Structure 1
Protein backbone atom coordinates (compact mmCIF):
# COMPACT_ATOMS: atom_id res chain seq x y z
CA UNK A 1 0.00 0.00 0.00
CA UNK A 2 1.05 3.56 -0.61
CA UNK A 3 -0.32 6.79 0.75
CA UNK A 4 -1.23 9.73 -1.42
CA UNK A 5 -2.60 13.17 -0.72
CA UNK A 6 -5.69 14.39 -2.54
CA UNK A 7 -6.47 18.09 -2.46
CA UNK A 8 -9.86 19.28 -3.77
CA UNK A 9 -7.91 21.53 -6.17
CA UNK A 10 -6.77 18.43 -8.07
CA UNK A 11 -10.26 17.88 -9.47
CA UNK A 12 -11.60 21.46 -9.46
CA UNK A 13 -12.97 22.58 -12.82
CA UNK A 14 -12.35 26.27 -12.16
CA UNK A 15 -8.61 25.70 -11.78
CA UNK A 16 -6.09 25.49 -14.57
CA UNK A 17 -3.32 22.92 -14.68
CA UNK A 18 -0.93 25.63 -13.46
CA UNK A 19 -3.25 26.31 -10.53
CA UNK A 20 -3.13 22.68 -9.47
CA UNK A 21 -5.80 20.75 -11.38
CA UNK A 22 -4.48 17.27 -12.13
CA UNK A 23 -7.33 15.78 -14.15
CA UNK A 24 -8.37 16.78 -17.67
CA UNK A 25 -11.24 19.28 -17.81
CA UNK A 26 -13.69 16.63 -19.00
CA UNK A 27 -13.23 14.80 -15.69
CA UNK A 28 -13.06 17.85 -13.40
CA UNK A 29 -15.97 18.87 -11.19
CA UNK A 30 -17.25 22.20 -9.96
CA UNK A 31 -16.54 23.15 -6.38
CA UNK A 32 -15.39 19.76 -5.01
CA UNK A 33 -15.81 19.28 -1.26
CA UNK A 34 -13.86 17.02 1.08
CA UNK A 35 -17.01 15.22 2.21
CA UNK A 36 -17.97 14.43 -1.39
CA UNK A 37 -14.49 13.15 -2.18
CA UNK A 38 -14.52 11.08 1.01
CA UNK A 39 -17.89 9.62 0.04
CA UNK A 40 -16.52 8.51 -3.31
CA UNK A 41 -13.42 7.00 -1.67
CA UNK A 42 -15.65 5.08 0.72
CA UNK A 43 -17.67 3.70 -2.20
CA UNK A 44 -14.40 2.74 -3.87
CA UNK A 45 -13.44 0.80 -0.74
CA UNK A 46 -10.30 2.82 -0.08
CA UNK A 47 -8.98 3.63 3.36
CA UNK A 48 -8.57 7.35 3.98
CA UNK A 49 -8.27 10.07 6.59
CA UNK A 50 -9.29 13.72 6.35
CA UNK A 51 -7.10 16.64 7.40
CA UNK A 52 -9.41 19.65 7.66
CA UNK A 53 -7.20 22.52 8.78
CA UNK A 54 -4.63 22.46 6.00
CA UNK A 55 -4.10 24.90 3.17
CA UNK A 56 -3.22 23.99 -0.37
CA UNK A 57 0.40 25.08 -1.04
CA UNK A 58 -0.55 27.12 -4.10
CA UNK A 59 -3.24 28.94 -2.07
CA UNK A 60 -1.77 29.20 1.44
CA UNK A 61 -4.45 31.69 2.55
CA UNK A 62 -7.30 29.28 1.76
CA UNK A 63 -7.85 26.48 4.27
CA UNK A 64 -9.50 23.69 2.34
CA UNK A 65 -8.05 20.51 3.83
CA UNK A 66 -6.94 17.34 2.10
CA UNK A 67 -7.51 13.62 2.19
CA UNK A 68 -4.78 11.06 2.75
CA UNK A 69 -5.61 7.87 0.86
CA UNK A 70 -4.10 4.42 1.14
CA UNK A 71 -4.08 2.71 -2.24
CA UNK A 72 -2.50 -0.23 -3.99
CA UNK A 73 1.02 0.50 -5.22
CA UNK A 74 -0.04 -0.26 -8.79
CA UNK A 75 -2.80 2.35 -8.74
CA UNK A 76 -1.84 5.82 -9.88
CA UNK A 77 -3.10 9.03 -8.34
CA UNK A 78 -4.61 10.01 -11.68
CA UNK A 79 -6.61 6.77 -11.82
CA UNK A 80 -8.02 7.46 -8.37
CA UNK A 81 -8.78 11.10 -9.20
CA UNK A 82 -10.64 10.13 -12.37
CA UNK A 83 -12.65 7.54 -10.47
CA UNK A 84 -13.53 10.11 -7.80
CA UNK A 85 -14.79 12.47 -10.50
CA UNK A 86 -17.11 9.92 -12.10
CA UNK A 87 -20.76 10.82 -11.44
CA UNK A 88 -19.73 13.66 -9.14
CA UNK A 89 -21.00 17.20 -9.56
Structure 2
Protein backbone atom coordinates (compact mmCIF):
# COMPACT_ATOMS: atom_id res chain seq x y z
CA UNK A 1 0.00 0.00 0.00
CA UNK A 2 1.02 3.57 -0.61
CA UNK A 3 -0.56 6.88 0.25
CA UNK A 4 -1.67 9.67 -1.99
CA UNK A 5 -2.77 13.17 -1.11
CA UNK A 6 -5.86 14.69 -2.67
CA UNK A 7 -6.14 18.45 -2.47
CA UNK A 8 -9.48 19.88 -3.66
CA UNK A 9 -7.46 21.97 -6.12
CA UNK A 10 -6.51 18.78 -7.99
CA UNK A 11 -10.07 18.33 -9.27
CA UNK A 12 -11.38 21.93 -9.27
CA UNK A 13 -12.64 23.01 -12.70
CA UNK A 14 -12.02 26.66 -11.83
CA UNK A 15 -8.28 26.01 -11.59
CA UNK A 16 -5.83 25.80 -14.44
CA UNK A 17 -3.19 23.11 -14.77
CA UNK A 18 -0.62 25.72 -13.70
CA UNK A 19 -2.66 26.41 -10.57
CA UNK A 20 -2.57 22.73 -9.64
CA UNK A 21 -5.49 20.99 -11.35
CA UNK A 22 -4.46 17.40 -12.13
CA UNK A 23 -7.42 16.17 -14.18
CA UNK A 24 -8.70 17.50 -17.49
CA UNK A 25 -11.58 19.97 -17.56
CA UNK A 26 -13.97 17.24 -18.74
CA UNK A 27 -13.46 15.35 -15.46
CA UNK A 28 -13.02 18.31 -13.10
CA UNK A 29 -15.82 19.47 -10.82
CA UNK A 30 -16.76 22.96 -9.75
CA UNK A 31 -15.66 23.99 -6.24
CA UNK A 32 -15.17 20.51 -4.74
CA UNK A 33 -15.61 20.29 -0.98
CA UNK A 34 -13.41 18.13 1.21
CA UNK A 35 -16.41 16.35 2.73
CA UNK A 36 -17.82 15.49 -0.71
CA UNK A 37 -14.48 14.11 -1.85
CA UNK A 38 -14.22 12.04 1.34
CA UNK A 39 -17.74 10.66 0.79
CA UNK A 40 -16.80 9.49 -2.71
CA UNK A 41 -13.54 7.93 -1.52
CA UNK A 42 -15.46 6.13 1.21
CA UNK A 43 -17.93 4.77 -1.36
CA UNK A 44 -14.95 3.52 -3.38
CA UNK A 45 -13.97 1.45 -0.35
CA UNK A 46 -10.61 3.12 0.21
CA UNK A 47 -9.09 3.95 3.59
CA UNK A 48 -8.53 7.65 4.13
CA UNK A 49 -7.94 10.37 6.68
CA UNK A 50 -8.80 14.06 6.49
CA UNK A 51 -6.43 16.88 7.40
CA UNK A 52 -8.64 19.96 7.73
CA UNK A 53 -6.24 22.65 8.84
CA UNK A 54 -3.73 22.48 6.02
CA UNK A 55 -3.16 24.85 3.15
CA UNK A 56 -2.28 23.96 -0.41
CA UNK A 57 1.44 24.77 -0.84
CA UNK A 58 0.83 27.12 -3.78
CA UNK A 59 -1.75 29.05 -1.74
CA UNK A 60 -0.51 29.12 1.86
CA UNK A 61 -3.04 31.84 2.78
CA UNK A 62 -6.04 29.60 2.05
CA UNK A 63 -6.83 26.75 4.46
CA UNK A 64 -8.57 24.07 2.41
CA UNK A 65 -7.36 20.78 3.87
CA UNK A 66 -6.53 17.55 2.08
CA UNK A 67 -7.34 13.87 2.15
CA UNK A 68 -4.71 11.18 2.57
CA UNK A 69 -5.81 7.99 0.81
CA UNK A 70 -4.27 4.52 1.02
CA UNK A 71 -4.07 2.93 -2.42
CA UNK A 72 -2.49 -0.17 -3.92
CA UNK A 73 1.12 0.18 -5.04
CA UNK A 74 0.21 -0.31 -8.69
CA UNK A 75 -2.83 2.01 -8.60
CA UNK A 76 -2.76 5.11 -10.78
CA UNK A 77 -3.18 8.34 -8.83
CA UNK A 78 -4.71 10.02 -11.86
CA UNK A 79 -7.21 7.19 -12.27
CA UNK A 80 -8.27 7.53 -8.62
CA UNK A 81 -8.80 11.28 -9.14
CA UNK A 82 -10.88 10.63 -12.26
CA UNK A 83 -13.04 8.09 -10.44
CA UNK A 84 -13.67 10.57 -7.64
CA UNK A 85 -14.66 13.22 -10.19
CA UNK A 86 -16.98 10.89 -12.11
CA UNK A 87 -18.88 10.04 -8.97
CA UNK A 88 -19.24 13.73 -8.04
CA UNK A 89 -20.92 14.79 -11.29
Instruction: Give the structure-2-normalised TM-score.
Output: 0.98
In the alignment, what sits opposite 1:22? 22
CA distance in 1, matches of 2:87, 2:63: 26
Moved over 2 A (4+): none
- The separation in 2 between residues aligned to 1:88 and 1:49, in whole angstroms, is 19
For residues 28-82 of structure 1, what are the alpha-carbon distances to aligned partners after superposition, in whole Å with 9 as ceiling and x for unaligned? Answer: 0000001000000000000000000000001110000000000011111101000
User: What value does the CA root-mean-square deviation take over the aligned residues?
Assistant: 0.7
- TM-score normalised by L of structure 1: 0.98
Give the length in aligned residue pairs: 89
Which residue does 2:62 correspond to in 1? 62
- Runs (5+) with no aligned partner, structure 1: none
- Cα distance in structure 2, aligned partners of 1:88 and 1:9: 15
Aligned to 1:44: 44
- Secondary structure in 2 aligned to 1:50? strand
